[in-house]
Amino acid sequence: MTPSEITRLINTAHRHAKRKRRAKRWGRLAREIVFNGILLLGAFLSAFPFYWMFILATQNTNQIFSWPPQFTPGESLVTNYQTMLSIIPFWRNFANSLFVGITHTALALLFCSMGGYAFAMYRFPGRDWLFALLLATLMVPWIAGIVPWFILISKWLQWINRYEALIIPGAASAFGIFWMRQYVQESIPSELLDAARIDGCPEFLIFFRIVAPLLMPAFAALGIMIFINNWNAFLGPLLVMQDKSMYTLPVALALLRQDPRRGFDAGVLMLGTAMATLPMLIVFLAATRRFMAGLTLGALKG
């Protein structure tokens, strides 16, 4: 083989290698474009309902049901706001929901973390049977016990129109205890607790000073779920809160659908819904990193 033929073969091999690298680079770029496009489409589909809700809150009923729909803000925001305040004491209902949600969430995180820590780190007779019984209660829907729950709240405890009726029940939930137990069991080494006991640290201080700070991702994830569930609760507050000034937001917003003086006003309803949604968005966005860490870290060993 002559030198020119060898050179030609080498050049051909270089061209093939260059075309292969270029094809691989373009293929990688195409995959990234498709993947990012799907993510952007999913983000748009997730965010658009919130944008549409806030836009509808600025329009009146005729504009909301007009065709084609208007995707720009309207001029009825102030009117809708004044009408809403004339129907319900919105800010009092907002304060009720906020107080009940924060207080209930704080108590639930305290009791559930202590219960989950006990089931994960202590050995006592009947522990496994008691935990199995606790998990069995998850199969019983809450609505099945609504009648005895109401009798207990109204007749025995006399908690009608009182915040205790919405805060105390469910402060130690089976799901919350299970969640914290799994997280503690997989993420807190027992050697750390043994070292604290050797140093003479009491059990309560071990929990509050050593264990609790390590549970922040689990607190964030469970706290968001409890707060949103409590914020959206409707049937419980509807049964025990009989004064309009004691209503939580979901119950108060239901009044906007059936105002006997003005009839159905879609703009007012959408404004109340949008304002009630803001706290949940703020809570989730503020704790989203810890929320994702709480969902994943407790599931990993080591």
Query: Using one digit for the tens of pLDDT, what is the confidence trace for 89-112?
Result: 999 999 999 999 999 999 999 999
Closest CA to 63 of 265, 253, 262: 265
Report the C-alpha dihedral over residues 143, 95, 286, 280, rounded to 10 degrees.
40
Confidence at residue 302, expressed as pLDDT on a 0 to 100 scale: 41
Rounded distance between C-alpha atoms, residue 153 and residue 147, angstroms: 10
Based on the domain organization, do 201 and 284 belong to the same domain?
Answer: yes
Query: At 83, which amino acid appears?
Result: T
User: 1-23 in b/e burial notation, b at 16+ Cβ within 10 A?
Assistant: eeeeeeeeeeeeeeeeeeeeeee
Rounded distance between C-alpha atoms, residue 182 and residue 190, angstroms: 14
Q: What is the pLDDT of the chain when averaged over all its residues? A: 85
Rounded distance between C-alpha atoms, residue 44 and residue 181, angstroms: 37
Distance, CA of 70 to chain centre? 31
Question: pLDDT of 220-277, one tens digit each?
Answer: 888 888 998 999 999 989 999 988 889 999 999 888 876 656 667 788 888 998 999 8
Closest CA to 212 of 117, 297, 97, 108: 117
Confidence at residue 240, expressed as pLDDT on a 0 to 100 scale: 92
Is residue 59 a contact partner of residue 267, using CB atoms and an 8 Å limit?
A: yes
Residue 112 belongs to a domain with what CATH number? Answer: 1.10.3720.10
Based on the domain organization, do 24 and 134 belong to the same domain?
Answer: no
Based on the domain organization, do 158 and 279 belong to the same domain?
Answer: yes
Based on the domain organization, do 20 and 138 belong to the same domain?
Answer: no
Given a cut of 50, is residue 300 above it in pLDDT?
no
Based on the domain organization, do 131 and 237 belong to the same domain?
Answer: yes
Rounded distance between C-alpha atoms, residue 149 and residue 159, angstroms: 11
Closest CA to 187 of 276, 75, 302: 302
pTM for this one? Answer: 0.80
Based on the domain organization, do 228 and 87 belong to the same domain?
Answer: yes
Distance, CA of 275 to chain centre? 17
- R_g (Cα) of the chain, nearest Å: 28
Instruction: Report if residue 109 sits inside a domain.
Output: yes
Based on the domain organization, do 211 and 148 belong to the same domain?
Answer: yes
> Considering its fold, how many domains does the chain have in total?
2
**Residue 18: which domain range?**
3-56
Instruction: Report if residue 72 sits inside a domain.
Output: no
